[in-house]
Structure 1
């Protein structure tokens, strides 16, 4: 019987956010683990709008979901 040489490689999920309105309309932002969104300068995506809080959201990857 021939040796099974099948190898399974780890999958890397990549995704991005696309702006829908305002200054971010049609801009694409690649997302990495623990991607932070908000008005403060320490965020990965800074949205300087009154309806967005200083630390508005964090996008996280959770294993198994």
Structure 2
């Protein structure tokens, strides 16, 4: 994967993560929705770790 594409994906994932966390902590949602949001947040965090690891592994940071 090219560095530019990877950086764009990371930026989008970070924005999505920030928005989800903001919504989760600042609005009321039923518990099942909160659980789904927390799961999605953990998936995003895992993806960000993987992408950052790929950048480090390829000596691109």
Structure with larger Rg: 1
Higher strand share: 1
Greater relative contact order structure (CA < 8 Å, 6+ sep): 2
Structure with greater helix percent = 2
Scaled by the length of structure 1, the TM-score of the pair is: 0.29
